[in-house]
A = this chain, B = another copy of it.
């Protein structure tokens, strides 16, 4: 029992943090917003050199062969940089889904190209209306009935759905399913899609933690600098207590996300409950952080030119990705209120054995 990361994992995280601080400043995010595809080939090449796209790709396919615990750290850093796009759709969802479905030829063909940064995968998930990052994907994995279908970009019809968060590139996707496009069916497909959904929700949760961290940091920095009534506004108890309230919710969301990552990595039975808890807690913390950040910044935070809204928009839109509050709350409720549910002290890690 050790609830914490290895030196190696922490080094991986700080390397990413430094890399993104340097290579992915707000100006880059704004350029991605303005771009046609929301994807920056140069940045992706550099991320690929770090192994990011292939983080969850088995080493046999030229990936790093890491698990969802490393993934959570990666995505916290992505959130901290307000970066999304293929770092989520490909590295966090597409690659591991591809690795899981029983289609060896497909894996052989695509996984090395994911790891090299050459291919980007967009994934449709059961129950979700939109597909993220479909506009720039080289491969689409899409659900149809209880099957998974693999499609080339020219075999699908995409309709872009512009959103308030320009980083959220979502599409309505239609395609003709056939036996030629089917790559998994039945229980295999159901299991793979369910795990992919959990990974998507975990990805949103982990990003939300990074987003909330960054919002707190930016807002504290502003509150230390900005003076009114001849003192820094951060010396007012109203400001202090709002920010302290964010910290409380954030610091108790963080371990829920890390635990969910562990549960997905180990394929635990309670995985979905843990993921839903993590998503609810992390996106709620991020939303609260956004609310307080904007209130403390005041009018300056309400402008397009100030960078704050890069993270505000992420905090708001992560909540909408990979299942909303109601869906995740119902998943936890169904588990916790079920007959024979084991919910008391000593049960938290009882399923790990």
Binding site for B on A (CB under 8 A): 236-238, 241
Contact = CB atoms under 8 A, between A and B. Distances in A.
A235 to B, nearest CB: 10
A244 to B, nearest CB: 10
Can you tell how many copies of this chain the complex includes?
A: 2
A241 B236 CA distance: 12
A292 to B, nearest CB: 14
Nearest to A241: B238
Contacts of A238: 237-238, 241
6 contacts: A236-B237, A237-B237, A237-B238, A237-B241, A238-B238, A238-B241
Nearest to A239: B237
A-B pairs with the 4 shortest C-beta distances? A237-B237, A237-B238, A238-B241, A236-B237
A131 B241 CA distance: 44
A238 B241 CA distance: 8
A236 B237 CA distance: 7
Contacts of A241: 237-238
A236 B236 CA distance: 9
A263 to B, nearest CB: 35
Contacts of A237: 236-238, 241
Nearest to A237: B237
Contacts of A236: 237
A237 B238 CA distance: 6
A238 to B, nearest CB: 5
A238 B238 CA distance: 6
A236 B238 CA distance: 9
A104 to B, nearest CB: 55
A333 to B, nearest CB: 18
